[in-house]
Structure 1
């Protein structure tokens, strides 16, 4: 049984407490199908989220099977299913793949046969078997709502919460969804609560909860609403509510509550007796349990004691481990990537075009630096040779510095493109999956593995392709390898930082905009083009990944090229090892920000 005892949810408005839900008291038994209705803004969705635990109640108690959800253990992810208003499936996957993914992420199965049986049963239960191979993006509104329900049924939840799942549907589809919810409530003692703006098909519900300005105005059988509100038609209920204050309706309901609850109990008993409502045997106290209850002087009809037996007797599905969730998330991410033709083409275009842009400047970078002769045949020749050498230093130094910075900035742009929308673009789906038991650590690990693959491919290809045209001026031993490491690190650093931004932002648009600004500041604040004033340079340089990759690469060159670059820039260079450490710190900071953002609550 689900019980609400004077539950309130309050927010701050104009410096004062404003109750969205005000002292709601309800009893909802197992196997019950309840609708929450009321005018817009009355608190329907807020109440549903408060029951789910997405909103923390400001006052009162929420009890589930005798367990205080605030003081004792909260809902187990397998106990509850929550179907939000938005789609919780990826357009690139099929119906079958979406349900399989949800099952692998939330249910630990012993083998493939058990997994397939569970998926097939859910497809049949929700009427999706005929369209199992159809992509999500081509489904109708009603089919998407069925899929959302199916993905929540993978754990066999005892409590199913649905938020406006019939909104925007045609009358036939709306009735089909309500009938499906009705059928689901009749199986295995499952409680189903549905928020709806519609007053159609109310006869299919066991009870109707009417909210008015956050207060309970009515909770009873559908056929009692018209009499209670003194109207001839259900559509007249909302205008009738507006005729008096919500506190008056609440007072009226508290006077009539017991009489209407007796009607609900009588109907429930009839349904069980006639076999229309299925309550599993393990949810019914055995003779020994009844004896124990009576010996403890607890009345058998005490719902709290009966619910304790239900809690102890009902076995929940087990959640898969972190590695299992990681492999499922990573496999799904690659599948979505390759099915998104636009994204694949964009990545290929960037991968091919960016290195070609760099290679266009290879000729000047390949020029040899002219050196001074040991002997001069006159003052005029010495002046001419010094002029030629200085010009060579300026030409080659400028070209080499520019080619390295061009590589660094373009890889920073690739990193931004990799991660700017990676979390924010699927924020709603992730929040829903996190509510269902997905570990943020498994989700982050899958993103690191996926993005890390892109980083390696992009950076290595940039280094190898450009090297075929412009030979990196090697240092004593492994200058090109060090340069390649810096290209990987700067791409990884920008990818990690933008992943952190994507995790902390609520929308993909916010994340993309901030990531673009971040890349835009890389070139002017690096000091590679124009040296910054020392007062500004000391503040900005620690945060500019491009500077550390550029500086480290320059330090990997032989001394003559470093001197040539020194001739065209006043920006100082740091030791290569220090540059590597700073870039690694950037990566770590980005990943920490990502984890913090993933752990944070981002429901609207």
Structure 2
């Protein structure tokens, strides 16, 4: 049984406490199908999230099978399923692949046979078996709602919470979903709570909970709804609610609560006697242990493997993304080559013998200086060009990686996904992109543009700056609520890399001291310059005012950028960001 005792959820609004859920007290037995209805803004979804634990109750108690959840811990991931309003599946995947991934993330199975059996059972229960091979992106609204249910049923939850799963559907699809939820509540004593704005198909529910301004106005049998509110039709209930303040409705309900609960109990007994409702036998000590084993969560490594495999599958099925990555990897190095001709020119040396003619000596100095300016500027610019392009690649790699799937991730985290497994899968996927992009850039430019220095050192710093910007933008993505916010901030970050690096114009020392530690492009550029041939290195130093740092300092600083960014990413993935 699920019982709520004077449950409140309070927020601070305009300097005062406001109860979005106000002293809700209800009892819901096993095998029960309840609708939560009420006008917009009455607290339906807020109550559902409070039951789920997404909104911590401010007061009162939630009791689940005799366990006080506020004192003895929340639901385990296998006990509860939550179907939100938004889609929780990736468009490029098929129905079967979506359910399989959900199963692998939430249930530890003994072998592939058990996994397939569980998937097939859920597909049959939700009526998705005939379209198991169909991509999610082509499903109708009703089919997507069924898929959302299927992905929650893989762990056999005893409490299923559904938030507006019938909104936006045609009448036939709406009735099919409500009928499906009704049937699901008849299996294994499962409790199904469904938030809905619609007052259609109420006869399929065991009880109706009517909320008004966060308070209970009614909780009883569907056939008593119009009688209680003294209206002829259910469509008149909402206007009737608006006729009195919520505290009066709550007071009225408290007076009639016992009698209506007796009606619910009689209806329940009739359903059990007729066989319409079958309840599991009372648990004994041994059965409880079996249940825990049957719903054991998979380990971190298993979740990591599932997530990484799914990410690569989504990547290769997104032709636009694949073509974009290929275009970037081909076009960016070509852009560098277009500007690399001047960097190939030789630099004249001073003669070993002193010139007897002062004019000739001055001319020699001018010639050497011209070569240094020409080649030094070109080499410095080309190195920075590569660094900035790879920083841009890093931003493109990860700016939307987490923020773009925020809702799905938060839902999967609610279902038991470990943030560490999720972040590790992102790092593994992005690392492959970083390695391919950076090494290809270094190889291509060195082959066709001839980098005049230590190739390994230059390639290493290109790899580090790409990795640093990818990690930093991943952190931004994990901390921002929307993909648009993350993308905009990442673009600004890349845009400031060139002017703040000092490669073009040296910053004032008073500013440079504070900005330099945070500019990844400076450290990659400086480290690469330090690996140039002596003559080329001297030519670069002759044309820049910015002080170069040692190779080790550049190496450690970029490594620190990556480490700090990954730590921030970890904090962002752990933080609750489900509105």
Structure 2 matches for 1:100-249, cutoff 5 A? 100-249=100-249
3-state DSSP of counterpart to 2:133: coil
Aligned residue in 1 for 2:568:
593
2: distance between equivalents of 1:100 and 1:202? Answer: 33
Counterpart check, 1:344 vs 2:319: no
2: CA distance between counterparts of 1:278 and 1:363? 81
Which residues of structure 2 form unaligned runs of 5+? none
- Indicate the SS of the match to 1:468: helix
- Which deviations, in whole Å up to 9, do the C-alpha atoms of 1:364-404 show, x marking residues without a partner? 11112110112325222111111110000000000000110
CA distance in 2, matches of 1:196, 1:89: 22
Q: How many residues are aligned here?
A: 577
1:504 aligned onto 2:479? yes
CA contact 1:65–1:310 (8 Å) conserved in 2: no
TM-score normalised to structure 1 length? 0.94
Q: Which residue of 2 aligns with 1:353?
A: 331
1:6 aligns with 2:6: yes
Aligned match of 1:568: 543
In 1, distance between residues paired with 2:16 and 2:105?
42
Q: What are the Cα deviations for residues 493-546 of structure 1, in whole angstroms up to 9, with x where unaligned?
A: 000000000000000000000000000000000000000011111111000000
Q: 1:362 touches 1:469 (CA, 8 Å); kept in 2?
A: no
Partner of 1:292: none
- The match for 2:531 is 556
Q: Confirm or deny that 1:467 pairs with 2:446.
A: yes
Residue 558 (structure 2) pairs with residue 580 (structure 1):
no
CA deviations over 1:76-128 (Å, ceiling 9, x no partner): 00000000000000000000000000000101011111111111111110000
Whether 2:577 is the aligned partner of 1:602: answer yes
Alignment-derived partner of residue 82 in structure 1:
82
Provide the secondary structure at the position in 2 that maps to 1:6: strand
Q: Distance in 2 between matches of 1:369 and 1:399?
A: 12
Instruction: Name the structure 1 match of 2:508.
Output: 533
Aligned mate of 1:324, from 293, 302, 309 = 302
- Tell me, what secondary structure is at the counterpart of 1:591? helix
Q: Is the 8 A contact 1:79 1:156 kept in 2?
A: yes
Deviation at 1:285, TM superposition (A): 5.9
**Contact 1:65/1:311 (<8 A) preserved:** no
Distance 2:524 2:73 in 1: 49
Contact 1:500 1:593 in 2 (8 A): yes
Task: Give the secondary structure class of the aligned counterpart of 1:243.
Answer: coil
Shift of 1:470: 2.2
- CA distance in 1 between counterparts of 2:152 and 2:302 reads 19
Stretch moving more, 354-363 or 26-35: 354-363
Q: CA deviation at 1:567?
A: 1.6
The 1:165–1:424 alpha-carbon spacing in structure 2 relative to 1, beyond 3 Å, is same
**Consecutive unaligned residues in structure 1, runs of 5 or more:** 290-308
**Which secondary structure does the structure 2 equivalent of 1:96 belong to?**
helix
Residue 520 of structure 1 is matched in structure 2 by 495
Give the Cα–Cα distance (whole angstroms) in 2 for the partners of residues 557 and 64 of structure 1: 69
1:382 aligns with 2:361: yes
Alignment root-mean-square deviation, CA: 1.2
Q: 1:312 to 1:60 in 2, by over 3 A?
A: farther
Q: Which residue of 2 aligns with 1:297?
A: none
Report if the CA contact (8 A) 1:489-1:584 is conserved.
yes
Is 1:447 paired with 2:420? no
Shift, 1:579, TM fit: 0.3
Rounded to whole Å, the distance in 2 between the matches of 1:311 and 1:599 is 31
Question: Residues of 2 paired with 1:174 and 1:285: CA distance?
Answer: 35
For residues 278 and 572 of structure 1, what CA distance do their matches in structure 2 show? 79
What secondary structure does 2:71 align onto?
coil
